[in-house]
């Protein structure tokens, strides 16, 4: 039986975006391990589903030519963008692509190494082993369902099937109390609220509709409201807190902005550079 006891979120949640994207290849095991070493309280990551129903980590729904390579190490042509769709490949094929050796100009500090898109189960096993070995506090897993209405059946399964596959891994690994499921797609959060009401949810937001309208569209009160950091205002934080909702903005990569947001009363931060957190 899955463990359904709730675990309280940290007083101030320091999240490593895609592990530690500014320092390691994103959504890889090395990125998660570095984030742990840097003392994050939550590992943020993105989930997709392969053709054979495996839950894996990836932000993009396909192999991205900007920072990923073909199995033999060759560059993908720009014309190949969108060609290698994860949902249309078995995981055994996906794993052969190199997602860490190519220089990524957006993140010049990122360490280059041969790496693959890991299974979520592999990440959980590695993280939990690290926690036991190093006797560090249990971290949370903030997992984004990468889905859109337009992508159903092309880039991912429909919301209920997506959520069920994700939760099956989470419950097999018995980490449900330490999981947050986040999404821009309200449909997956609505499925979670209906079928797995004890699971923490986070509504990702990049629009200017405002808290009231976004929550109306969601249809329930999430654990966390996670807006793009530039839209955070004192009034937003106050309004969310009045409803018992935590505010954790994304993706904050400058120390000055981190300090400004913390002074506004946000409940945590998501950053590509968790190495900056000790300076807060």
CATH of residue 251's domain is: 3.20.20.190
Q: Are 147 and 185 in contact (CB under 8 A)?
A: yes
State the pLDDT at residue 166.
98
- Asked if the structure places residue 82 within a domain, the reply is no
Confidence tier at 269 by pLDDT (50, 70, 90): very high
- Residue 5 pLDDT > 80: no
Residues 62 and 172: their CA atoms lie apart, in Å, by 27
State the pLDDT at residue 6.
82
- Residue 3 pLDDT > 60: no
Question: Residue 251 corresponds to which tokens in the numbers above?
Answer: 């993706």
- Asked if the structure places residue 79 within a domain, the reply is no
Question: What domain count does the chain have?
Answer: 1
What is the secondary structure of 175-244 as a DSSP string?
Answer: -GGGEEEEES-HHHHHHHHHH-TTSEEEEEE-SSS-HHHHHHHH-S--SEEEEBGGG--HHHHHHHHHTT
- Asked if the structure places residue 193 within a domain, the reply is yes
Give per-residue pLDDT as tens, 81-123.
Answer: 789 999 999 999 999 999 999 999 999 999 999 999 999 999 9
Q: What backbone torsions phi and psi does residue 277 show, to the nearest 5 degrees?
A: -55, -40
Domain carrying residue 230: 13-61+102-279
Give per-residue pLDDT as tens, 133-168.
Answer: 999 999 999 999 999 999 999 999 999 999 999 999
State the pLDDT at residue 8.
96
State the pLDDT at residue 17.
98
Mean pLDDT of the 169-190 span: 98
State the pLDDT at residue 2.
53
- Asked if the structure places residue 69 within a domain, the reply is no
Nearest to 63 by CA among 40, 104, 95, 19: 95
- Residue 4 pLDDT > 80: no
- Asked if the structure places residue 160 within a domain, the reply is yes
- Using DSSP, state whether 256 is helix, strand or coil: helix
| Crossing angle of the two packed helices 186-195 and 159-172, in degrees rounded to 10 | 60
Confidence tier at 22 by pLDDT (50, 70, 90): very high
What whole-number percentage of the chain has pLDDT above 90?
A: 96
Residues 141 and 203: their CA atoms lie apart, in Å, by 15
Residues 84 and 76: their CA atoms lie apart, in Å, by 10
Confidence tier at 1 by pLDDT (50, 70, 90): very low
CA atoms within 13 A of residue 37's CA, in its CB half-sphere? 11
- Asked if the structure places residue 136 within a domain, the reply is yes
- Asked if the structure places residue 72 within a domain, the reply is no
State the pLDDT at residue 47.
98
Q: Are 180 and 223 in contact (CB under 8 A)?
A: yes
Confidence tier at 184 by pLDDT (50, 70, 90): very high
Cα end-to-end distance, the chain, whole Å = 40
- Using DSSP, state whether 164 is helix, strand or coil: helix
Place of tokens 């506090």: 137
- Using DSSP, state whether 48 is helix, strand or coil: strand
Q: What is the mean pLDDT of the chain?
A: 96
Number of CB atoms found within 10 A of residue 79's CB? 8
Mean pLDDT of the 225-247 span: 98
């Amino acid at each position: 039986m899955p463990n359904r006891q709730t675990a309280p979120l940290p007083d101030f949640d320091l999240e490593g975006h895609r592990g530690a994207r500014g320092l390691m290849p994103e959504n890889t095991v090395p990125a998660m391990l570095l984030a742990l070493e840097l003392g994050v309280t939550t590992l943020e990551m993105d989930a997709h589903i392969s053709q054979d129903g495996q839950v894996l980590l990836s932000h993009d729904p396909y192999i991205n030519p900007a920072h990923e390579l073909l199995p033999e190490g060759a560059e993908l042509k720009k014309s190949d963008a969108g060609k290698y769709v994860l949902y249309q490949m078995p995981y055994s094929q996906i794993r052969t692509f190199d997602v860490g050796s190519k220089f990524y100009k957006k993140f010049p500090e990122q360490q280059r190494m041969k790496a693959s898109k890991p299974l979520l189960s592999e990440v959980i096993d590695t993280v939990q082993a690290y926690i036991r070995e190093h006797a560090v506090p249990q971290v949370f897993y903030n997992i984004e369902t990468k889905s859109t209405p337009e992508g159903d059946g092309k880039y991912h399964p429909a919301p209920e099937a997506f959520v069920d596959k994700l939760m099956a891994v989470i419950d097999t690994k018995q980490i449900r109390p330490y999981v947050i499921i986040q999404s821009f797609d309200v449909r997956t959060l609505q499925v979670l609220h209906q079928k797995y009401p004890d699971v923490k949810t986070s509504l990702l937001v990049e629009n200017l509709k405002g808290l009231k309208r976004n929550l109306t569209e969601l249809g329930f009160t999430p654990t966390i409201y996670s807006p793009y950091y530039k839209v955070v205002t004192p009034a937003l934080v106050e309004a969310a807190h009045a409803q018992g909702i935590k505010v954790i903005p994304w993706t904050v990569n400058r120390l000055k902005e981190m300090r400004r947001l913390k002074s506004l009363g946000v409940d945590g931060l998501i950053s590509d550079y968790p190495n900056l957190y000790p300076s807060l």
